[in-house]
Every structure is written in structure tokens, then in C-alpha cells.
Structure 1
Amino acid sequence: MRVFVAGGAGVLGRRLVPQLLARGHQVTATTTSAAKLDLLERQGADAVVMNGLDAGSVARAVADARPDVIVHQMTGISLTHGGKPDLKHFDRWSVPTIRLRTEGTDHLLAAAEDNGVAHFVAQGYANWNGIRQGGWVKTEEDPLDLHEGTAAHTSMVALRHVEEVVGKAGGAVMRYGAFYGPSATDDQVELVRKRQFPLVGRGTGYASWIHLDDAASATVLAVEQQARGVFNIVDDEPAPASQWLPYLAACAGAKPPMRIPTWLARPLAGKVVVVMMTEGRGFSNAKAKRELGWELRYPSWRQGFREGLA
């Protein structure tokens, strides 16, 4: 198939494009930077500069590529677009990504309709943001938490927009867990090694992780099978921060993380961080494994952390 990967030079796009090419697909991959065209071309893709927030730029790129499927992997969380991660001011730091998940998604869907593109796959998110009711592990049947009253609310509303409009278009939304793998966790590991990534409270909040290569392989399956609906693309082991953070520190050769009480973390790090680390809900991957036939290379973050930081 002819596959159009919007955001092909991003942290996941760089793992996805080679997998699509290896399966015999023709890939057009976009980047916002002309300096990254050569990177995509060396992988074997047709590379194009595109501004996902410019409807005209998106329309031209899609029309020229004439794809059978569009894969939306555009985010603004890189240092270039979003600056250093700032979870205390999540709403400010996330503005580039929020716009790409609202305006950018709408531009791509409009271009898909104008050019008769048969299928659409978009990036979603399933890490700690499951509804904070009931058990600690959520399925696709459980709603995402909109986190009203926190700085994460605008980001969660943007995620809901992606799921609603892509669902109406008959596409698939891949709710990826927290990425790890090449270049995905460098900032976090640096903080862990400096002992600047503490456990909050008892660290009871759950998270779900996914290696970039496994996220890419699930996406390839969704493309090839013209999957529809929402899929949690996470590993087999959702876990509380009290488990994964000390293990990450050990794999990184760092001292165990410090622990700070929630009352102190709230003014220092913000309410979003406190919720993540004390109330977050993880996710189940049973649907993706069952319906897509997805097999993980890294079924647990334990294996992935250990191999990636050895």
C-alpha cells in the first residue's frame, strides 16, 4: 500500500517507517524540518516538509502522495517544538501537541476525504490517564479521565477529540503507553540519575509502558488490516510507580529514588504529577493482541529497561 506517515521523523515515526518499508509498502513520510529529509530518504521513504497546522500544506502533501492510508503521528513534545518537559505547567507545555491533535487531525481528515483515502490511523495515549474509578487497569471500554481541574485537562480533551473524529471517519486510534526505547526516555533517565525524579507518596499510581518497536509493529498491523476503533497499545505489565521507578533507577545505575509526601509534591511539581504517581490507572492490551494478532518483542518494561540501559 501507499502509506502517508505524518510525523515520520518523530521518535515513533523513525521506528515505524522502516517497519512499513520492510513489509513492502511505499511510504511518504513528513517532517517539519528540511534538515530531516535526508534521514527519511536514507530509510527509503519519499520525504516531504509539511506543516500539520497549515491546512494548505497538508492538502498539498496528501494530494501529491496519493496514499491508500494516512498514519497521524504528529506531536509537539520534542525540545524543538515543546521545549523541556514541564509537567507542572502541563497545559502550557502541551500546546503544540494539543493543536496537532485538534487542528492537525482535522486537516489530515479533510485531506483524506478530499483525496479518497480509504483508511486513517491516529496516535492516541494510554499511560496513566484511565478513569480514576474502580480497578487499576482499564480496557478500551473504560473512558479516559479528562482530569478536570488540573493542567492536564486541555490535553485530555484533545485526546477525546482525536478518538471522536477518527472514530466517525471509520479509522483506528492507537492509544500508546509511555514510550521507551531509542531517544524516548533520555530526559527521564537523566533526572533519575541525578535523583531529581522522586516517588510521590506511596507511588500507588499505575502506568503503562510500550517499547517504540512494539508500538510500531502494532501500527503496521492496524494499517494492513484496516483496523477500526480504539486499541490500547501497551505492554503486558501495567505497574505502580513504586515498582517501575526504582527498577528504572537500578537499570540506569542510579541510587534509589527519593520519596516525598504528596503535600510537598503538589506545590513543587504540580497536581498532575501527584495524580500520575498516586492515582494513575494503567491499561490492558488484550484487545490489540486478540483482534490484531499483535505479538510483543518486549512484553514487560522490566526486560526493555534492562536491555536498553545495559
Structure 2
Amino acid sequence: MRILLAGATGAIGHSLTPALVEAGHTVFGTTRTESHTGAITAAGASPVLMDGLDRGSVMTAVAEAKPDVVLHQLTSLKAGMNPKHFDRDFAMTNRLRTEATDYLLEASRQNGVTRFIAQSYAGWPAPRTGPAIADETAGYDPHVGREARASLAAIRHVEAAVLAATDLEAIALRYGGFYGPGTGIALDEESEMLEMVRQRKFPIVGSGGGLWSFIHAIDAAAATVTAVDNGAPGIYNIVDDEPASAADWLPVLSRTLGAKPPRHVPTWLAKPLLGEQGVNMMTTVRGASNAKAKRELGWTLRYPSWRIGFTEGL
């Protein structure tokens, strides 16, 4: 198929672009920056300059690529974001999940696109009550930390837009926390998060009971490639098989990096430093189930657990 990959050099684009090419698709990869076009070409795709927040730029890019499928992977993610300033640090990504989503859907409708796949997130938006592992029907946290309310609204926007696009085969892929090549959380890349772990500046807060759902970039790309051809319209969690508490995964990551064990910090002390949402993520968020994606997309994982991925995939 002809595919327009919006965000070809982003956190997942690094792995997704060559995976789509290897699957036999003709890929047009977008970037806002001329200097990034070489990487897109090297991955086997045709570079397209596009600003996702400029309606005219989006309309032109889609019209010229004439894609069968549009993959919306536009984000502005950084590994070292401060949870105390969640919405501030996610402000650009939030615009891409709202404004750019609307522009890409409009352009898709005007140019005969048949399938539309958008990036969403599974890490913390689910309600923090109920079974430990949430599926795609769980809904959204009605008491999300005040620092993350705009970010949750942006996630809800992209998912609502996908579900409302009944004239397209529209899918939202809720990825877990990315790690691996191209994500900024890899041993051969500059990583503020990994450096914090090495320096014991990433503590376990309270019980450390918040369940994190991870996904290696290669597995996220594989799921996305399968979604090009498979799966009914709707929402799918793209996470590994083992949601893990911060108290479990953080010490393993420390050992992987050759660092000392993480410190433990009481909740009352952490809250002024991490904010309400940061404490929620470390103590009370739920994990996500990947059962639907494995069943309906026919997706298999190279790294079914972060335990393997941290050891072999960083």
C-alpha cells in the first residue's frame, strides 16, 4: 500500500519506517526539518516536508502522497519530562494530538484514504480503581492529577476523533511506555531518564505500587505494521505481557545499568517534587492488557516482557 507516515523520525518512526518498507509498502515519511530527510531516505522511504500544525501543509502533503493509509505518529516526546510540569512539557504533543489529528482526518477524507491509524497512550489514562490490569473498555481516570488534565483531554480527543471517523477504517493504538532505539531510552543514546537512574535520582515513591506498561520500539512498530492490514476499527492497547510495579522494574533497570539500587522516598516527601500526577504514576496507576491486540491484530512480540527487553533490547 501507499502509506503516509506522519512523524517518520519520532520515537516510533525510527523503527516503524524501515519496518513498513520491509513489509513491502511504499512509504512517504514526514518531517518538519530538512536535516531529517536523509534519515528517512536511508530507511527506504520518500521524505515529505510537513508541519502537522499547519493545515495547508498537511493538506498538501496528503494530496501529493495519495496514500491508501495515513499513520499519525506526530508527537514531541522527550525522555526527561518533569511530571510536576506534565502539561507544560506535553504542550506540543497535546497540540499534535488535537489540531494535527483534525487536519490529518480532514485531508484523509478529501483524498480517498481508506485507513487511518493514530497514536494514543495506555500508560496512565485509565481509572485507578478496578482490576489491576485495564482493557480498552476501562474509560478514563476521573481524578487525574491536575498537572496532566490537558494531556488527558488531548488523548481523549484523538481517541474520540478516531471512533467518530466511521467513514474511514480508523484505529487508535494506545502504546505503552517506549524504550529502545530511537526513543531516548537506549544505552547508545543520550538519555536523561537513564542518567537519573544511574545517579539514584529516580526513586521508588511510597509503595512503588503503580503498574507501568512498557513496549519496546521494535514491538510497537510490529504492531503498527500489522494494524495496516488487520483489525477492525477501534482502540487497541499496544503493551507487553507484563505490567510491572515501579518497585519491580526500577531495581531491575538499575542493575541493568550497573547502578546502585534506587532510593525509597515517602509519598509526602515526593509530592512537592513530582506533583500529584507523578505520585499517581509511581503508586496507583493500573497496567494495560494487550489481549485484544494479540487476538485481533495477530501481533506477536519480540520482547514479551520488559525484563527481557531491558536486558537485551536497550
If the length of structure 1 is used for normalisation, what is the TM-score?
0.96
Q: How does 1:1-310 map to 2 (within 5 A)?
A: 1-78=1-78, 84-170=80-166, 171-184=170-183, 185=185, 186-225=191-230, 227-309=232-314
Q: CA deviation at 1:224?
A: 1.6
One-letter amino acid matched to 1:70: V
SS in 1 for 2:228: helix
| CA contact 1:147–1:156 (8 Å) conserved in 2 | no
Equivalent position amino acid for 1:64 in 2? E
Which stretch has the larger CA shift, 180-189 or 267-276?
180-189
Aligned-partner Cα distance in 1 for 2:22–2:291: 26
CA contact (8 A) 2:7 2:31 kept: yes
Q: CA deviation at 1:126?
A: 0.5
1:148 Cα offset (Å): 4.1
Specify whether residues 149 and 293 from structure 1 end up closer, same or farther in structure 2 by C-alpha distance, changes over 3 A only: closer
Q: Runs of 4+ in structure 1 displaced over 2 angstroms?
A: 146-149
Q: CA deviation at 1:32?
A: 1.2
If the length of structure 2 is used for normalisation, what is the TM-score? 0.94
Rate the CA distance shift 1:257–1:149 in 2: closer, same or farther, 3 A: closer
Report the Cα offset of residue 226 of structure 1. Answer: 5.8
- How big is the shift at 1:308? 3.0
Quote how far apart the aligned CAs of 1:254 are.
0.6
Instruction: For 2:301 and 2:111, locate their aligned partners in 1 and report how far apart those are by CA, in whole Å.
Output: 34
| CA distance in structure 1 between the aligned counterparts of 2:175 and 2:144, rounded to whole angstroms | 22
- Structure 2: any 5+ residue segments left out of the alignment? 186-190
* Percent identity for Structure 1 against Structure 2: 52
Alpha-carbon distance change, 49 to 31 in structure 1, aligned in 2, over 3 angstroms:
same
CA distance in structure 2 between the aligned counterparts of 1:281 and 1:98, rounded to whole angstroms:
22
What's the CA shift for 1:128? 2.9
Tell me whether 260-269 or 142-151 shows the greater mean CA deviation: 142-151
Residues in 2 aligned to 1:27 and 1:147: alpha-carbon distance in whole angstroms: 40
Cα deviation, residue 275, structure 1: 0.4
Q: Once superposed, what is the RMSD of the aligned Cα atoms?
A: 1.2
- How far 1:149 moved relative to its partner? 4.8
Counterpart Cα distance in 1 of 2:95 and 2:46? 26
**1:187 CA drift (Å):** 2.2
Structure 2 Cα separation of the partners of residues 248 and 193 of structure 1:
9
Question: What is the distance in 2 between the residues matched to 1:197 and 1:124?
Answer: 25
Gaps of 5+ in 1: none
